[in-house]
Structure 1
Amino acid sequence: MARFAKPREPRGETARMRRGFGWLAGLGVLLVVAGLVGLVYTAAVTLTSMLLFGWLLLIGGFVGLLHAIQARGSSFFWLGAIVAALNIAAGVVIVSHPHAAAAALTLFAALLFLTGGLFRVVGSAVVRGPQFGWTLLLGVFYLLLGVLVLANWPSSSQYVIGAFISLALLFDGLGLIATGFGGRRIVGMVSDRTA
């Protein structure tokens, strides 16, 4: 008589999954540390991000130009060449004048906050949906943020972009830590039940 045993989850797979979630939590810790350091040195983060953005535009422009040259004779050539030239020109301007680029980007962000906040406030007052309070609060927050950034512009451009990037790193890191520890806990609960 053949015995039918309940298939069990291999221990190696469970250990590998727990290790993977551990690495995820470790990456989250690194991002949190980077975000906290960035909040202390926001001006350096702003300047570094502008230079990195400019170099990425330059590299992307040259790669796009090579791709357009390879597509000579097709309808893609002129569009690819124009987009590549624009990327290269924008990259040169940002790399050669990172502070002016940061000031322009900060002004653009402030205007986006103002218009987004205005639309949220007006939209929540007109529609009055089930999320009326949250939408109104978010709209007011966006308006205040836009006014604060615009009131101190252009000096605010030294720290606004760096602060936003650092906060994004911090919250992404906290999310990865929560996912890592939560995933390890779930894997442990599942492996305990199947054991």
Structure 2
Amino acid sequence: MIRRTHTPTTPARSFRTVGIVFAGLGAFAILVPAAATVIVEQLVAWLMLFWGIAGLLFARSFRAFSEWKIVAAGFAVVALIGLFFVVYPGTGAAFMTAILIAVFLMEGILSILLGLRMSGQVTHWQWIVASGACSFILGAVILSQWPQTANWVVGFLVGLNFLSTGIAMLLVSRAARR
């Protein structure tokens, strides 16, 4: 009789598997950013819809408090926005892209100001200014082509994130094997 023993999954193997999956998803999203944008948008839309519905059910348990209607209204807004994005795909991508533009522009301005303020106190403060300039330029470039960028920018950025995470996991798996 052959006896099989279960060998536990090593951390290196787990990191490798996760790395391959993330890198593959990231490459797909970068190669087909419009499709990835739709997928991300719909995922967010459905999550918002379910979050809003669950929140409405949760708000009912607070009926003893006078503020329960405010809580319910907030969750109703979340559910309605999610439903709107589910029914009208594309509007969610435009909205998410607009938020990304605002974040990149604001982060850029704040980093530049922070770096300049730190100029007399910290060495290499120029890197903070350079980082802020990169964020601001990225926001301005996306804004200059908006709303057309809404068709692909979310998927592309998510793809970059997944690809870099996947590569990091693959590198960690190599180090863990040693």
Please report the TM-score for the alignment, with normalisation by the length of structure 2. 0.87
In the alignment, which residue of structure 2 is the partner of 1:37?
Answer: 28
Rounded to whole Å, the distance in 2 between the matches of 1:112 and 1:80 is 27
> 1 or 2, which has the higher helix percentage?
1
The residue matched to 1:50 in structure 2 has which SS? helix
Q: Displacement, 1:75?
A: 5.3
Q: Give the count of matched residue pairs.
A: 171
Is 1:54 paired with 2:45? yes
70, 83, 92: which is aligned to 2:61? Answer: 70
In the alignment, which residue of structure 2 is the partner of 1:159?
Answer: 152
Partners of 1:117 and 1:142 within 8 A in 2: yes
Rounded to whole Å, the distance in 2 between the matches of 1:102 and 1:26 is 30
In the alignment, which residue of structure 2 is the partner of 1:127?
Answer: 118
81, 85, 88: which is aligned to 1:94? Answer: 85
Larger radius of gyration: 1
Rounded to whole Å, the distance in 2 between the matches of 1:163 and 1:81 is 35
- How large is the RMSD of aligned CA atoms in angstroms? 1.9
The residue matched to 1:131 in structure 2 has which SS? coil
Which structure 2 residues correspond to residues 108-119 of structure 1 after superposition, within 5 A?
A: 108-119=99-110
Q: Displacement, 1:166?
A: 0.5
Q: In structure 1, what residue type is equivalent to 2:141? A: L
Rounded to whole Å, the distance in 1 between the matches of 2:99 and 2:25 is 26
Q: Displacement, 1:82?
A: 2.0
Question: Identity of aligned pairs, percent?
Answer: 24
Please report the TM-score for the alignment, with normalisation by the length of structure 1. 0.80
Partners of 2:11 and 2:176 within 8 A in 1: no
Q: Displacement, 1:152?
A: 0.6
Rounded to whole Å, the distance in 2 between the matches of 1:82 and 1:130 is 50
Which structure 2 residues correspond to residues 170-181 of structure 1 after superposition, within 5 A?
A: 170-181=163-174
Gaps of 5+ in 2: none
The residue matched to 2:84 in structure 1 has which SS? helix
Gaps of 5+ in 1: 1-11, 186-195
Q: In structure 1, what residue type is equivalent to 2:103? A: L
Q: Displacement, 1:40?
A: 0.8
The residue matched to 2:57 in structure 1 has which SS? helix
Q: Displacement, 1:79?
A: 4.0
